[in-house]
Amino acid sequence: MKRTLLSILLTSAISSVALAQQQPQFSHYGFNGMYLNPAYAGIKGQGEITTLGRYQYLGYTGSFDDGGSPQTYTLSASLPVAAIGGGVGLSVFRDKIAQSSMTNVQLSYSKHVKVGEGKLGLGIQGIFNHLSKGMYRPADKEPDSSVPRDGSDQKFDAGVGVWYESDKLYAGLSANNLLRSEYRFKSVGGENSAKVIGENHAYLTAGYNIEASPSVVVTPTVLVKMVLPGEFGNNNKFTFKNNSYEGGVRATFNDKFWGGVNYRHDESFTGLLGMSFAKDNALRFGYAFDFIAFNQEARAFSSHEIMLSYRLPKPGPATRPAVRTPRYSF
């Protein structure tokens, strides 16, 4: 009975980790559309490269010496390609939480359609996930087939999304892990019986640029993250208890300096600062500080995030215009 109860608790704990944060979160979500949505690829009309490093719950220590703070690193790139009527994108992240780690690679294509004053992107993506589990310690000395033990597994998956972009408004909706793959790991019992489901994740995000003055643009933003357990077509997938909500506002001065605040429901308040460098303000650096306002005992006092991005020049005409001269006008 004791071992059965432990198995249930461990399975619930692993599933809870999967549901709560199977994929990493970023406070710079307003600058990281390629991570959120495949339809974002190339929608800006110029190439972008963005890298982020996040140290979540700084100083948190687990019950054992091998626990600790989640750490995430990501690199994304987006490029418009006129020849295919849209854009392509790449996103890679590495996420580590105690004994669990995930490496994720996403290749995206977006078809762009002119809609009103902006563009609508329709995106698809191929996903490669590699999950690794370390040396978990069961409470009982007897082997337990539900406890992972130094195993790993990898699967291919897919995602879809739509994204609208204009000078003032952007909005996107996406879903990934559509195949809802099952990952199996070696267990304490020596069999590949410990498992985790790659749950469906969905992201809804939007922002609106308000020109407060000729040099100041104010941008309210919102992000809803949804974890959707169960198969598609099941109405129980869409429940508010698996959602996470974020909202904020930032002010940008001369397209060079920005500052803002965010709120993540039932977790934290965030301050953001950043500035741009180089020609056309192409190089951008940002820092985010999360003050963990709720449930610090189970988390920590703060999280920290650094962003570095580069915007490529917008592509010019495919051919140079003809040079007209009276000399050849005969």
Instruction: Say what the pLDDT of residue 216 is.
Output: 97
* DSSP helix, strand, coil percent of the chain (3-state; round to 5): 15, 55, 30
> In whole angstroms, what is the distance from residue 86 CA to residue 113 CA?
8
Question: pLDDT 10s digit of each residue in the chain, 330 long?
Answer: 333 322 322 333 333 333 344 789 899 999 999 999 999 999 999 999 999 999 998 877 766 655 678 899 999 999 999 999 999 999 999 999 888 899 999 999 999 999 999 999 999 999 999 999 877 776 676 667 777 777 899 999 999 999 999 999 999 999 999 999 999 988 776 677 788 889 999 999 999 999 999 999 999 999 999 998 877 767 777 777 778 999 999 999 998 999 999 999 998 999 999 999 998 899 999 999 999 888 777 677 889 999 999 999 987 665 555 555 554 443
Q: Are the CB atoms for 113 and 154 separated by under 8 Å?
A: no
> In whole angstroms, what is the distance from residue 11 CA to residue 27 CA?
30
Distances (CA, A) of 193 to 58, 144, 184, 186: 33, 10, 6, 7
Instruction: Say what the pLDDT of residue 57 is.
Output: 86
Instruction: Say what the pLDDT of residue 23 is.
Output: 86
Instruction: Say what the pLDDT of residue 155 is.
Output: 96
Q: Considering the entire predicted model, what is its pTM?
A: 0.85
Maximum distance among all alpha carbons in the chain? 100
Domains of the chain: 23-311 (2.40.160.40)
